[in-house]
Structure 1
Amino acid sequence: MKGNSVFKSSFNRCLRRLSGLSVGAVLPSESELAQRLEVSRTTVRAVLAALDQQGIVKGPAGQRSLARHPREGDYFPDTQTLSAGAAVERHFMQWILQGDFRAGQLLNSAELARQFGTSTTTIREHLARFQHFGLLERRPNSAWLFKGVTPAFATEVYDVRELFELRATRSFIELPDDSPPWRELDAIEQDHHALLANIDTDYPRFPALDERLHRVIHETSENRFIIDFYDVISTLFHYTYQWNKGDEKQRNTTALLEHLDYIQALRSRDPRAIDARCRKHLRTARATLQRSIRFGPFPDDAPAGVAP
């Protein structure tokens, strides 16, 4: 199964579900697992065989039980669980935001396909996705105009993000206390305290922790549009933040403290408290993004050009 992103992503999702069970608990049937993971029974059998080999589950088919809780090292890295299309999207976003590109530059889909080692059809499909979010505009002869990450764009994105996240919190607080998302929230909170205790040296680790917190909230919505939105936008935010390193430690410290307040509000299950903490944190995040955009990755007088 090496290199199989469907298997690896299913394996990781299964681990997250198992983390909410007690050791010794009987697993759902293969059919039920296939339905919950939204994959075929063949994939589920491969996942269960791998879990058995690693000593996470035990017993024959139909009588499998949890032998131990999953550990961090049991999970496949996120980069190995991406589909080919998702990998192209992430590669493109990293490339466009870390490279020498600015609003007004042209990109050529054939050249991008050669650079990323994929087909022009795949590139066009996923460039069209970024076109939907307003980052690109299609031009003749397989060219695309990069419109740039502007303050106006960031404002529009954050307006939608606030709506989506507040809706997702409603789904989150309806879950029982022993559900996997709540267990993940416990681990995320502990990691926040650990990061704060070593903030002077470990502050660059914050973006990954930020990703974990907001993703676990968004995914409980089980709404494909909310989850799809966060997949693209979270990558945009985290790479744009890298443009401004001047006050990174202080920014990350502030965000960590706001996260802890947000987590406490979620635990209270009080919609008003959650609304207030979520809006406060997203206002701070919005201001951070706006400053990063104004700071930018380029000198103000750098000329716009055409990508090769």
Structure 2
Amino acid sequence: MVVPTLPGAPLNKQDWAYHQIRQWILSGELKPGQRLDQDTLANMLSISRIPLRQALSRLFAQGFVDHRPNQSWVVSPVSLADARDVYAGREALEVLLTEMATPLIDDGALDEIAAILEAQQSALDKEDLDLARHHDREFHDRIYQVAGMQRTLQMQQQLRAMSDRYIAMYMSDIDRALAGIREHREILETLRAGDVEAAKRAVGAHVRGGIVVLEALLS
């Protein structure tokens, strides 16, 4: 596994370890069920075991790793049952946040969302799927921030983090990624129109579209 140089700022060692191990899991370099040897990881990342354990605890909270009774850490398995559970929660919260955001969204926010969407399209045109996933998250976050429901947004972001492994699975397919862009454009149009019910339907269908693809991949 390739380990980039530890950045001087802004990440501390715990954040560095968290982001790097998470990326290895998302990329498939660390595979479901694989045991994570703490000494090996600490040496690879040039950190002590304390920030490493803190990073693993964060990854555990987000469903990326499991902690076994013998004190070992392993990469969590992926399963259709888990994906359905996570996506059901996401749909409920994201539809609610969309319902609350749509009447409040202004032209400035709409322009920001449109710019994010174009950045996502540009990333896909270059087949930079990692950057496209980054802009995918930005697109949704910017909409949901408008709702002003911080507790609900925190829960949504936790579920989104839990779904990142599944998103990486289906967004590695350029056709599915392009379909996601089309769905984003539909969502943006409903927001511009101020049509709350249409926006809710578009967001709900977008989230469900992900689970449909996962059913084909994981069945």
- Common fold by TM > 0.5: yes
Identity percentage of aligned residues = 24
> Which of 5, 10, 29 is the aligned partner of 1:99?
29
Q: Of 124, 129, 135, which residue of structure 2 is paired with 1:209?
A: 135
- Distance (Å, rounded) in 1 between the aligned partners of 2:205 and 2:160: 22
Q: Pick the structure with more helix per residue.
A: 2
Aligned counterpart for 1:260 among listed residues 174, 185, 192: 185
TM-score (norm 2): 0.76
2:15 pairs with 1:90: no
After the TM superposition, which residues 1-308 of structure 1 pair with which residues of structure 2 at under 5 Å, given as runs? 3-5=8-10, 82=11, 84-97=13-26, 98-103=28-33, 105-140=34-69, 142-179=71-108, 181-191=109-119, 195=122, 201-205=125-129, 206-220=132-146, 221-223=149-151, 225-226=154-155, 228-229=157-158, 232-233=161-162, 235-241=164-170, 248-293=173-218
Seen in structure 2, the aligned counterparts of structure 1 residues 145 and 293 have a Cα distance that, compared at 3 Å, is same
Q: Deviations over 1:208-230 (max 9, x none)?
A: 43222122224444336236416
| AA matched with 2:114 | D
* C-alpha deviation, 1:285, in angstroms: 1.5
Check the 8 A contact 2:91/2:208 in 1, yes or no: no
Output one character per residue of 1:165-209: Cα deviation in whole Å (capped at 9) or x when no partner: 223223432435244x333113134446x64xx97x534454343
CA RMSD of superposed structures (Å): 3.1
For normalisation by structure 1, the TM-score amounts to 0.57
Unaligned residue ranges in structure 2 (runs of 5+): 1-6
Structure 1 equivalent of residue 3 of structure 2: none
Query: Rg: which structure is higher?
Result: 1
SS at match of 1:101: coil
Q: Matches of 1:99 and 1:150 in 2, distance apart?
A: 18
Question: Conserved in 1, the CA contact under 8 Å of 2:17 and 2:52?
Answer: yes
212-221 or 158-167, which deviates more: 212-221
2:104 aligns to what SS in structure 1? Answer: coil
- Give the AA of the match of 1:288: V
Question: More relative contact order in 1 or in 2 (CA 8 Å, sep 6+)?
Answer: 2
Number of residue pairs aligned between Structure 1 and Structure 2:
207
In structure 1, what is the Cα distance between the partners aligned to 2:36 and 2:194?
A: 47
